[in-house]
Amino acid sequence: MAMWRAAAGQLLGRALTSRAAHTSAGSKKIVGVFYKGGEYADLNPNFVGCVEGALGIRGWLESKGHSYIVTDDKEGLNSELEKHIEDMHVLITTPFHPAYVTAERIKKAKNLELLLTAGIGSDHIDLPAAAAAGLTVAEVTGSNTVSVAEDELMRILILLRNFLPGYQQVVQGEWNVAGIAHRAYDLEGKTVGTVGAGRIGRLLLQRLKPFNCNLLYHDRLRINPELEREIGARFEEDLDAMLPKCDIIVINTPLTEKTRGMFNKEKIAKMKKGVIIVNNARGAIMDTQAVADACSSGHVAGYGGDVWFPQPAPKDHPWRYMPNHAMTPHISGTTIDAQLRYAAGVKDMLDRYFKGEDFPEQNYIVKEGQLASQYQ
């Protein structure tokens, strides 16, 4: 962190003069990178998070004289995204089909002023490089927190109740109650710990309260004491001390250089044998092979989530084939309700950008060369 701060300091004065955080002059070229809707694009008029839906803002942007290019082709020098990097002013990306904005791409993007994340989580962007270049990075804070928290609760129950083998039995024409019941458990009375208690972590804790669980949380900051008492959650300052207490561990921390690969073989070994892990935060927080090995050995009884590294996950990714998993593509934060919220948030920030106005403070990830606290 100290190294990038030094680099940022040397470059920032020059960069901020050439790349203003906001602008009000002229027609802008805006590029959006989203997943392709394909045959599903026309099935729901509110399906705005795909390429075809284009966040529902194409007509609005073009009516104001701006150019709007939308694609799902984001990888490599011959990709559609790469063709527009040099002269685009705004890039809209999404965690569900992330366009990896590297330092090399930022260097090429001579006109780039603004990077917007349609959703939450901007770790697909090289944030130190963006800060050093004087770019503004923002996301739609809060847009899909409910969506992700609900999904986490669902995956806890799916794994704890051994639901997936039962479903597979039905599909395959089988009937073997013992094959399911021998490792199915109630949620009541279990100890659940969340690593991270920000917006999503707090919502999860609130939703777990009616299940009469023992609730623990680890975070760099304690939540409001009144809310802590209301939820009945206990703060654990020492993560290593919390892990062996938990029957279920949920990852709710952002991906930073500090958390990248945090849950490696040694960290997983500190967990209780038979633990269930749910991770809808970021795949790179986990050591991929360590998770697969722990599931294969039975030390981890079940692993569920929707985040991988990289994304889309390659066909030979070991999490596809490890036992007792409840993995899906990255979907938890892109429900139709969430899409409408983050589309509205992107439109609001673009409107403010065109008018030269500030964004809601909580949306900034990089502003005037400084990273938001959760990424420091």
Active-site residue identified among 105, 282, 317, 341: 282
What one-letter code names the amino acid at 186? D
Q: Is residue 279 annotated as a catalytic residue, yes or no?
A: no
C-alpha triplet 44, 47, 50: angle, nearest 5°: 135
Choice among 105, 144, 317, 324 that is catalytic: 144
Active site residue 282: yes
Work out the burial of residue 15: count CB atoms within 10 Å of its CB; fewer than 13 is exposed, 13-18 middle, 19 or more buried: middle
Per-residue CA distances from 202 to 76, 104, 215, 251, 341 (Å): 38, 37, 11, 12, 20
Q: 364 with 137: CB under 8 angstroms?
A: yes
311 catalytically annotated: yes
Nearest-5° angle of CA 151, CA 154, CA 159? 125
How far lies 114's CA from each of 32, 109, 110, 291, 359, in Å? Answer: 12, 11, 12, 36, 12
Given the residues 199, 202, 330, 341, select the one marked as catalytic.
330
Taking phi over 0 as left and psi of -120 to 50 as alpha, with beta for the rest, 305 belongs to left
Walk across the sheet containing 275-279 and list its strands: 233-235, 214-218, 191-195, 248-251, 275-279, 300-305, 325-327
CA distances from 38 to 34, 49, 52, 55, 70 (A): 12, 12, 8, 15, 14
Give catalytic status of residue 222 as yes or no.
no
Q: Exactly one of 311, 324, 339, 363 is catalytic; which is it?
A: 311
Residues labelled catalytic = 144, 282, 311, 330
